[in-house]
Structure 1
Amino acid sequence: MRMAVAGGTGWVGKLVVAEAEKAGHDVVVIARSRGVDLTTGAGLDEALRGADVVIDVSNIETVNGGVATRFFETVTRTLQDAGKRAGVKHHVLLSIIGVDRVEWGYYQAKLNQEKVALAGAVPATVLRAAQFHEFALQSLTRMGGPVAVVPKMLSQPVAAREVAAELVRLAEGEPRGQAPEIAGPEPLQMADLVRQVAKRHGPRKLVLGVPMPGRAGKAMATGGNLPAGPGIRGTQTFDDWLAELG
């Protein structure tokens, strides 16, 4: 099977590419560094020639809901339109658990992206995933200084490589709309995880768990990011991941 991975040079995208190649698929990486612009569509028709499926793990680093919405809408419509022209049969999208329950700008942008993908001309599958284990390290290192401010969040973190493997598995099958959510083995407080990373790996910082304002903050703190029903559960614990991190 020929799989095109949008955002395939990002850290999640690289894992998806590796899993797809390990499974024996012919993989095309879609990224600006490979001559493809997902926001304008430049180079996309050529990249998708002969592709059976698109796996979209592209992302934008922003907390601005409007910016995120414009990016995700544009990218998804561009991929859908180009996919239809190329005869792509399946569009697989990575999303986040809680986008329908946590009223935060970035999450609302991802929820809107899901709707655009599912309404597109190419049949789609959406996989909502919990926060990756790596999110704790990113939260610790995102800003300089001696203090890391982390939203109070109850999550069920999952290994990114297990999410990548599930995306490839879904891409191998028929489109199924909203797929069962994927999360890790156990619910954990994000601030506690960031403290563990600071202690065992560094950088050493004071970690403050701070509630986000409004309904979004309340939802994050009370389980809005936990899986809403049965689904795939990863096997790697956070402690296992932290031990691998060194």
Structure 2
Amino acid sequence: MRLAIAGGTGMTGVHVTAIARERGHEAVVLSRRTGVELLSGAGLAGALEGVDAVVDVANVTTAKPDVSVMFFAGATKSLLSAERAAGVPHHLVLTIVGAEAAPDGYYAGKLVQERLVADGDVPWTILRTTQFHEFAAMMFHRTHAGAHVAPAGRVQPVAVREVAAHLVDLAEQVPAGRAAELGGPREESLADMVRRYAHAIGHRAPVPVVNTPGALGRAFRSGALLPGADALRGTQTFDEWLDALPDA
């Protein structure tokens, strides 16, 4: 198969690209590094010729809803338009479990992305997953007034490589609409994850627990972002991910 990976140089995309190639597929990376601008669509037309499926794992780092919506809506519209023109038969996108419980900030863009894909005329698959193990590191390094804090919340983190492997599985199949959710093997405390990560990299100062404000904080604390009973489960635990860290 010829698979195009939007955001193929990002954290998830590098794994999708590597796994696709390990399985003998041709992987076409769609990113600025390869001459493709997702928001404008520049470079997309030629890159999608003969593509069997587009796997969209492109991302933007922001907590601002307007920035998130602008990026995900713009990139999705560009991809779908180019896919229609090239006759691509499958659009596959990665989104987040429980996004509707926190429809602001970053999640606002992911919800718009889902709607555009579902309302579009390119056959599609949407895969929702829980937060990656790396989410603990992201939270630790996002300081508040110069201090490291540990947000309270209930999460069920999953290994990014397992997510990537499942995305390739889905790309090898016919469009599935809303696929079964994918979560990690067990529920964890987000605050505990952040503190354990801090300890693993040698941080010895206190890391106080805080409540994230707004709908996102309430969603994390209530468990609204946990996978449903019918969700698929990954195998790598957060402890195993920590043990594999270079600085652990």
Quickly name the TM-score band, shorter chain normalised.
over 0.9
C-alpha spacing 1:212/1:143, structure 2 compared with 1 (3 Å): closer
The aligned residue for residue 113 of structure 1 is 113
* Number of equivalences: 246
Could you tell me how far apart the structure 2 residues matched to 1:206 and 1:160 are? 28
The aligned residue for residue 217 of structure 1 is 217
For structure 2, list consecutive stretches of 5 or more residues without a partner in the other structure: none
- Which contiguous aligned blocks of 4+ residues in structure 1 show a shift greater than 6 angstroms? none
The aligned residue for residue 93 of structure 2 is 93
Listed as ranges, the matches of 1:64-213 within 5 Å are 64-143=64-143, 147-213=147-213
Could you tell me how far apart the structure 2 residues matched to 1:116 and 1:202 are? 43
Displacement of 1:4 in angstroms is 0.2
Are 1:140 and 1:203, in contact at CA under 8 Å, matched by a contact in 2?
no
Could you tell me how far apart the structure 2 residues matched to 1:167 and 1:63 are? 25
Displacement of 1:103 in angstroms is 3.2
C-alpha spacing 1:199/1:55, structure 2 compared with 1 (3 Å): same
Q: TM-score, normalised by structure 1?
A: 0.95
Displacement of 1:204 in angstroms is 3.8
Are 2:143 and 2:149, in contact at CA under 8 Å, matched by a contact in 1?
no
Are 2:139 and 2:151, in contact at CA under 8 Å, matched by a contact in 1?
no
Are 1:147 and 1:208, in contact at CA under 8 Å, matched by a contact in 2?
no
Are 1:96 and 1:128, in contact at CA under 8 Å, matched by a contact in 2?
yes
Displacement of 1:146 in angstroms is 6.6
Root mean square deviation of aligned Cα: 1.5
Could you tell me how far apart the structure 2 residues matched to 1:183 and 1:5 are? 22
Could you tell me how far apart the structure 2 residues matched to 1:101 and 1:190 are? 17
C-alpha spacing 1:144/1:66, structure 2 compared with 1 (3 Å): closer
For structure 1, list consecutive stretches of 5 or more residues without a partner in the other structure: none
Could you tell me how far apart the structure 1 residues matched to 2:81 and 2:150 are? 38
Report % sequence identity. 47
Listed as ranges, the matches of 1:229-240 within 5 Å are 229-240=229-240
Are 2:103 and 2:111, in contact at CA under 8 Å, matched by a contact in 1?
no
- Larger deviation, residues 113-122 vs 137-146: 137-146
1:80-139: CA deviations, max 9, x gaps? 010011111100000011102223321122111101011112111111111100111122
The aligned residue for residue 242 of structure 1 is 242
Q: TM-score, normalised by structure 2?
A: 0.94
The one-letter amino acid of 2:42's match is A
The one-letter amino acid of 1:101's match is A
Are 2:2 and 2:53, in contact at CA under 8 Å, matched by a contact in 1?
yes
